[in-house]
Homo-oligomer: A and B are copies of this chain.
Amino acid sequence: MSACEELREYVREIAEIHSAVALGAWDQRTHMPERGAEARAKVLGRLERMAFERVVSDRMGELLAAAERDGVCSEVDQALIRVWKREHTRNRAVPPALYQKFVETTSRAETVWEKAKAASDFALFRPHLAEVVDLVREMAKLIGYRESPYDALLDEYEPGMTVAALRPLLGSLRERLVAFLKELSRGKPPRELPAGTYPLDAQKRFCRETLTWIGYDFQAGRLDDSAHPFTIGIGLGDVRVTNRYQDDDPFPGLFGALHEGGHALYGQGNDPELAWTGLAGGASFGIHESQSRFWENQIGRSLPFWRYAHPHLVRHFPGLARAKPEDVWRHVNRVEPSLIRVEADEVTYNLHICLRFELEVDLVEGRLEVDELPARWNRAMADYLGVTPPDDARGVLQDVHWSGGMFGYFPSYTLGNLYAAQIADAAERAIPGLWAKVEAGEFAPIRGWLWEEVHRHGRVFLPEDLVRRVTGSGLGAEPFLHYIRRKYGEVYGLSGP
């Protein structure tokens, strides 16, 4: 057996344990009876620990060293070594006692955060957040970085990404979006569709249909309800999505399904050869998000899509019969600066992220105290979006991420939006008559192209390399800004882009 083959054998067990963890997590959020929660937490903790022990083991170190010495590996084997070396190194860098403290502190902080958010009481959350920030900074130091401790955190979600690269990118994006928002405010806002009641059963049927259009394979997955929509890869041939619905509005459910469907196509499209190697999944959180945003926004919020989807929408919801395809398209492309990230539209969404990124970097680099967060938050909201949170629940306390210590995660959302626009441009160039196909409901060529260019590769390429392979250029904000100006200029009747 070659060193790479031995490594593959070894990591297969870890991947199989991860599959059991994924099933437990899926069940926890969809089917588990409430009194089973404590036992489930114990079982998942045990399985995760068993996987962790294998990741950080001396044996793993030896196998990685041997595989590197061999040096005659395929592209996939090189990725195998890269991915597991990163896991091994990052996880060994943090001593078990410190990691244990991190798990306990964040678990407590999350519980307190829930209460603090409910009471809109930042002071309650403040000491816990301060503890989390201290631990995150300590862990960043141990993991190591060249320029900014935040780089050590970013790397977990977007391998290779740095503050040095992100700061100018997001800074310029922010300025231009703020300027564009001002332009839009002089335009003519689209008319909203009349309110109505949309039975959940009909919504679910419509979502299932929509997932089938874009190529989601129900023989290799399923759609369930959950409090927060998510996609989870349980194993080869089993990538599940969940969704939620509002009975007064069919669109959050529909776009939720398209979003999760985009994630799921990625997972279902992984080359089966990558199963059990740790290379199944996505190149990064940002690239994964690009796939969800591609289907949700680039396709799902396009006029050709609604020309196709309109009769189906009306079939499920006859109350919408009088709305034309263009009306629906305008309705789902309204822009309104608002307080809550998860409810934000395409134009303002990234401003919520820019704000969080700036605060996170300052916290982690030690230029900002936790005490100062609410004031900084509210000032930035006013500057970027022109709205001021009336309380911390609708401001600095709105997201769960910080309580869980997930610093470095937020940028993935904006990276996803930027990548999605770049990928959509590349798809337009590669697929003749792309929009005519969308209008005809022919999604297979698009799905096929994404499969060939993105999905099948899983985690084989670093995000930077993948984007360059697919689009011919590196990460940039121009395609996204161009897309936004063009579409929303039209929706809001602005004069030429």
The chain A residues found within 8 Å of chain B, CB to CB, are 13, 16-17, 19-20, 23-24, 27, 31-40, 42-43, 46-47, 50, 217-222, 234-238, 240, 275-276
Contacts and interface: CB of A to CB of B under 8 A. Distances in A.
A33 B240 CA distance: 9
Stoichiometry (number of copies) = 2
A232 B35 CA distance: 15
A19 B35 contact: no
Contacts of A238: 32-33, 35-36, 39-40
A112 B301 CA distance: 53
Nearest to A35: B237
Contact of A36 (B32, B236, B276): B236
A42 B15 CA distance: 11
22 contacts: A13-B46, A19-B39, A19-B43, A23-B27, A23-B43, A31-B31, A33-B218, A33-B219, A33-B220, A33-B237, A33-B240, A34-B219, A35-B217, A35-B219, A35-B238, A36-B220, A36-B234, A36-B236, A36-B237, A38-B236, A38-B237, A42-B235
Contacts of A36: 220, 234-238
B39 A275 contact: yes
Nearest to A46: B16
The DSSP consensus for interface residues of chain A is helix
Contacts of A236: 36, 38-39
A43 B27 contact: no
B27 A237 contact: no
Contacts of A42: 16, 235, 276
Contacts of A37: 237
B275 A33 contact: no
A235 B20 contact: no
Nearest to A41: B235
Given A19-B39, A33-B221, A36-B238, 17 more contacts: A13-B46, A16-B43, A20-B20, A20-B24, A23-B24, A23-B43, A27-B27, A31-B222, A33-B218, A33-B240, A34-B219, A35-B238, A36-B237, A38-B236, A40-B238, A42-B235, A43-B235
A97 to B, nearest CB: 20
Contacts of A46: 13, 16-17
A38 B276 CA distance: 12
Given A33-B237, A35-B219, A235-B40, A47 B23 contact: no
Contacts of A40: 235, 238
A309 to B, nearest CB: 25
Q: In this complex, which of A17, A33, A47 has the most chain B Cβ atoms within 10 angstroms of its Cβ? A: A33
Contacts of A31: 31, 222
B20 A47 contact: yes
A36 B50 CA distance: 23
Contacts of A47: 16-17, 20
Nearest to A221: B33
Nearest to A50: B50
A347 to B, nearest CB: 37
